[in-house]
Structure 1
């Protein structure tokens, strides 16, 4: 966060503060109106004008205010976090940066020996209060802001569906000997890509299934185990979201489904597997199945069938599709092609 950006955010927040809340008689719907002398609100004669469409551009209704409050809080917390960060740790790979205020190593000094691992730095899948138990210090990855999973368009508009826009598939060249490191919750992990397809992550991976929200620091462990992650913009067309869910859940148990606001508005749907992603404007069932069949079960531990233990905000646990088994090798088992 540069100084210029910080000043801009603070100036914006101070500007928003120069306003007051007005309630029309007999209504519990409040409106934010400016206290700027040049746009002074005539409370005696103008209360009825609050509900006039011609004045919408001058007003912020309660739902919009809640959205702005959530964004402001997240921004302030982010600024405070950045201020505490003194220096950056060297990049592990071009896509990835690991940052930590205390210059902590991947393996804390006080971590028990049985939690250490020569391969990943920290043993995977072992809950521990001094590292990662899936319950403590989770705000390092996500501050539980509803911005990450809620469509806050004040008119409740959904993103327009661009039916003629082709999907985009991208894969990165991961070194064959690359092994992603596991970092305890005392270390912040961020990614230089808005849609990472590999990188360091937390020791505990998510239980397969659908979530209110799960951060990439968790689901990148899923793709290391050969899983497929479905991402969708919170304002994506619900029918398309449901269609993509149906195809994925009918093909493959080892999946995680979560909203993800970093997707583009042009292609608000995506699948991520080890080293690859596909971003979509619409759902082409054949294309989706082809991606899953080709990209699933890859990764350094791609054939690990064991489920994860991280389950914060899990909505529904994944089930084996009819015709599949606990090896997960029979992908899209009901597909007649």
Structure 2
């Protein structure tokens, strides 16, 4: 009699398990195959492979999770990789570089919240120096295009971001700036960005600091020193600079920074090649 009761209990437990697994699978299929994104906070607890909530940043960073951010699905909210709009030099673009250098600093504190891809991120300024960003940070290196919702996360990790107007893509000044940034540290992002100031078509950004660049003369030691001194003063001076791991997002990556660096520089050896 006891054995029969046990067998019935086992059978019922097995049936419940099968039903729950089928239910869970149906939900996951709907999430992973659908054209929309779910807020992971609304998912049943048994669908979360790990805790994704972060009391300080909203969502844990660096964990690919399709309902939130896996670096592939839903990225069109920030940038459609099929579009050329962000990387083309248009006939209507009136770009000049007569002004030399302007340094800017952010004094207001912007909360570094990790925001899933079901919510747009809009910045108060065309050149954000901190603020909300996507949970997955980008791999360091040069991109066909990288949206600010990604590179703002890089700033928080201590990176230097080199932006240039698309009309400057073939200029020798950009080649010189690119070389300086690559040689100074591995934690760098290089990307075109058409929302930059037109009379200063280059910008170096770090966490809370920016150097707008107009007329850059790569053969002049004075100009090179301005760029290098800015990088040495502000690179890796960020809340999460001790995160040495490369990122998880790579859409549009043309050349990885790991070709030049192990990403483990410290503030003491930034731009060490010039010492």
Aligned counterpart for 1:216 among listed residues 117, 139, 148: 148
> 1:311 aligned to 2:245?
no
CA deviation vs aligned residue, 1:180-225 (integer Å, no higher than 9, x gap): 1101100110111011100000000000000000000000000000
Shift of 1:153: 2.3
> 1:143 aligned to 2:80?
yes
> 1:248 aligned to 2:181?
yes
Contact in 1 for aligned 2:245/2:263 (Cα 8 Å) = no
List gaps (5 residues or longer) in structure 1.
1-103
CA deviation vs aligned residue, 1:302-334 (integer Å, no higher than 9, x gap): 222111010001000013758x87244310111
- When normalised by structure 2's length, the TM-score is 0.76
Contact in 2 for aligned 1:254/1:328 (Cα 8 Å) = no
Aligned counterpart for 1:230 among listed residues 152, 156, 162: 162
Shift of 1:299: 1.9
- After alignment, is 138-147 or 261-270 more displaced? 138-147
Following TM superposition, the consecutive aligned residue runs of length 4 or more in structure 1 with deviations greater than 6 angstroms are none
> 1:131 aligned to 2:65?
no
Q: Work out the CA distance in 1 between the residues paired with 2:263 and 2:41.
A: 39
In structure 2, the residue matched to 1:181 is 113
Q: Work out the CA distance in 2 between the residues paired with 1:325 and 1:182.
A: 23
Contact in 1 for aligned 2:201/2:213 (Cα 8 Å) = yes
- When normalised by structure 1's length, the TM-score is 0.62
Please give the residue correspondences for 1:45-194 in structure 2 after superposition, counting only pairs within 5 Å. 108-110=41-43, 112=48, 114-144=51-81, 145-153=83-91, 159-162=95-98, 165-175=99-109, 179-194=111-126
- Structure of higher RCO (CA pairs closer than 8 Å, 6+ residues apart): 2
Contact in 2 for aligned 1:253/1:328 (Cα 8 Å) = no
Q: Work out the CA distance in 1 between the residues paired with 2:161 and 2:96.
A: 23
User: How much is the aligned-residue C-alpha RMSD, in angstroms?
Assistant: 2.4
Contact in 1 for aligned 2:232/2:270 (Cα 8 Å) = yes
Shift of 1:117: 1.2
Contact in 2 for aligned 1:231/1:270 (Cα 8 Å) = yes
Contact in 2 for aligned 1:305/1:328 (Cα 8 Å) = no
> 1:278 aligned to 2:200?
no
* 1:294 match: secondary structure: helix
* 1:271 match: secondary structure: strand
List gaps (5 residues or longer) in structure 2.
1-37, 217-222
Shift of 1:160: 3.8
